[in-house]
Copies of this chain bind each other. A is one copy, B any other.
Amino acid sequence: MAIQESKVKTAVDGRKGERADHIYRVAAEIMCQKGYEATSMKDIADAVGLTKAGIYHYIVGKEDLLFQIMSFAMDMVDENVVTPARKIADPEQRLRVIIEGHARRILEVGGAVTVILEEMAALTPAHRKAIRARKRRYFDLVRETIGELQTQGKLRDVDPTVAAFNLFGMINWISRWYRPDGKLTPDQIMRDFLQIALNAVLRNA
């Protein structure tokens, strides 16, 4: 699979990986605009400047492409959010790194792949199971972090699972409303977003 080849850091595979990542981003944008089902392989090939035959060098088919986009999205979450967060012992600091890392990623590289992560119904059962397991591991990290904050007396008097879901709601929703040409910069939004999200769940954020 292209997304795994991109991790093999040889020059050739690296180039193929970057090209594949670009296709995933562009395809996600098109699927967001037109809807997954209404998007054809030709739409995607046209947008990335490949022939319909050429794009099959990178992609097996439309469902596989969807799975690759979702795997790519979860790779980014692992790399930019989960891995840095797991190195942090203090749960409050860890939660801050998770929220900021994930939100900043959506603000800076766009939210299309986040929106596409919702298209679970279009996956084959095996692909759906794989993506669901990866989402679950991320959720569990956030849920456990909030549980530690509860033990420390820092969580508001709320159920940690409800708190975790609300954080995911705020983070994922950014992909629906943020526009790079809006009046606020990513830094301004990030500052307000962190304040809102941390105060939502912590007694003294």
Contact = CB atoms under 8 A, between A and B. Distances in A.
Interface of A: 32-38, 118-119, 121-122, 156-159, 161-163, 165-166, 168-174, 176-177, 184, 188-189, 192-193, 195-197, 199-201
A184 B169 contact: no
A189 B159 CA distance: 8
Interface of chain A, main secondary structure: helix
B34 A121 contact: yes
A192 B159 contact: yes
A180 to B, nearest CB: 15
Given A37-B35, A37-B36, A196-B166, A159 B188 contact: yes
A145 to B, nearest CB: 16
18 contacts: A35-B36, A37-B38, A38-B121, A156-B196, A158-B196, A159-B192, A162-B189, A162-B196, A163-B192, A165-B174, A166-B173, A166-B197, A169-B170, A169-B171, A169-B176, A170-B170, A196-B201, A197-B200
